[in-house]
Amino acid sequence: MNKFEPNAYSHLWFKFFHIGIAETRTAREIDFVCACAPLPRFRKVIDLCCGMGRHARHLFNRGYFVTGVDRDGVAIARARELSGGPNYIQADVRDYQLDACAYDLVIMMSQSFGYFDASTNCDVLRRLGASVREGGRVVLDLWNPEFFSAHQGERDLELPDAMVRERKRVEDGRLFVHLDYPDGGYDDFDWELFGREQIISLADSMELDLIIACTDFDRAVGPDPSNPRIQFVLERRAA
């Protein structure tokens, strides 16, 4: 892994955290996306930072036209092996040129938004918003700042194949996570954290409205400090 590249996922992260995700979890996440962007109104979808295509292929199987984009060539190659349905593109979201009003729906799942500095994150969200048509939607699955403010420090993660040591802290509005793997390898990640009011303010400056803020992929349950993940659904305003 190139340690000079921020938030680049190593093969060890994929081995311990990505492979083997329960189908029930994926189904719940996909049910949420489909409920927030039902067919036929939201047929054309782009899944940014799609990884191995876990969400892209399930959305395709439910009748959506899906493009998946990820900067990791190994992940994109694996996505293509697993499913021939979606169109997969290897590209960095910071550089990838999204056509204006080209999509009905943009999704960034599994805390894939917030990796960069504040200016770059703002630019990424602006381009996401511009890429959906009027009434189009953006689904963001993020880390919950309230949860992590109360859950810092070290712990051992008991995974099916090994024990991974995790150390996390919140500083200046960012979450920093260090993972030590059993073979001596490690990963470092950090994210800009966004609460509900921050998202509302940011979205408003981009002609986007927050229409759903929830947790646990349940539209009826508002953001909860006891849950590490929050979901926001934004809608592009009519001109």
- Over residues 98-107, the pLDDT tens digits come to 999 999 999 9
| Residue 174 domain flag | no
Domain that holds residue 56: 22-144+200-236
Overall domain count for the chain: 1
Task: Give the CATH number for residue 121.
Answer: 3.40.50.150
Answer yes or no: is 150 within a domain.
no
Q: Is 195 among the domain residues?
A: no
Give 198's contacts (C-beta < 8 A, 6+ positions apart): none
**Does the residue 29 lie in any domain?**
yes
Contact 106, 138 (CB under 8 A): yes
Q: What pTM does this model have?
A: 0.93
Q: What is the pLDDT of residues 52-84, one digit of tens each?
A: 999 999 999 999 999 999 999 999 999 999 877
Matching residue, tokens 């504040």: 118
Query: 22-49, pLDDT tens digit by residue?
Result: 889 999 999 999 999 999 999 999 999 9
β-bridge mates for residue 233, sequence order: 139, 212
Residue type, 153: G
* 11 inside domain: no
pLDDT, tens digit, 9 for 90 and up, residues 116-165: 999 999 999 999 999 999 999 999 999 999 999 999 999 998 887 789 99
In a domain, 188, yes or no: no
Which residues make beta-bridge pairs with 139? 107, 233
Q: Comparing C-alpha atoms, which of 1, 4, 111 is closest to residue 51? A: 111
- Answer whether residue 106 is part of any domain: yes
Is residue 71 situated within a structural domain? yes
